């Protein structure tokens, strides 16, 4: 599918969502051509990997071996670190950027900072209360 067309990314994502619909958020996440298969044990991982590969074959979608990584114990996925047997964590480099961000000097700065920190909202207990002084400036 040529991605130069304006609706191509949307169409491709819709295709991927349709293909993987039975398993989305059960053991697979899909964002465009990034397919993440997650499991609690090795045996189930192999079963789910076979299911994913079988699903890809039906609509004639293919993977490129050199772009695939299998059986990783730790993976970076869209700003999060997924660690086998531990779960999801924040990316330390992204957190470091937030901590080192310069003082909010303009009227629009709080909006950008809240957008940045809001990405990790599920990791920050009481985020609404903590961020209230900044949200009140908007």
pLDDT in tens, 101-138: 877 788 788 888 888 888 888 888 999 999 898 888 88
**What confidence score (pLDDT) does residue 118 get?**
86
**What confidence score (pLDDT) does residue 3 get?**
55
Check whether 76 has a pLDDT greater than 60. yes
User: What stretch of H or E contains 131?
Assistant: helix 127-135
Per DSSP bridges, beta strands 87-90 and 74-77 are: unpaired
69 contact partners, CB below 8 Å, separation of at least 6: 75
Domain definitions of the chain by residue range: 8-71, 92-135
**What confidence score (pLDDT) does residue 46 get?**
93
**What confidence score (pLDDT) does residue 101 get?**
80
**What confidence score (pLDDT) does residue 32 get?**
84
Structure-block tokens of residue 47: 């079963």
Q: How much is the pTM?
A: 0.66
Check whether 70 has a pLDDT greater than 80. yes
């Amino acid at each position: 599918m040529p991605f130069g067309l304006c609706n191509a990314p949307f169409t491709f994502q819709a295709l991927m969502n349709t293909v993987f619909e039975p398993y989305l958020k059960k053991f697979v996440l899909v964002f465009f051509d990034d397919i993440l298969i997650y499991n609690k044990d090795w045996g189930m991982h192999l079963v789910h990997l076979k299911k994913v590969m079988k699903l890809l074959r039906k609509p004639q979608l293919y993977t490129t071996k050199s772009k695939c990584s299998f059986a990783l114990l730790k993976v970076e996925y869209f700003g999060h670190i997924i660690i086998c047997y531990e779960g999801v964590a924040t990316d330390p480099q992204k957190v470091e950027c937030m901590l080192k961000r310069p003082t909010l000097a303009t009227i629009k700065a709080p909006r950008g900072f809240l957008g940045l920190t809001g990405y990790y909202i599920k990791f920050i207990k009481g985020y609404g209360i903590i961020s209230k002084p900044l949200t009140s400036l908007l």
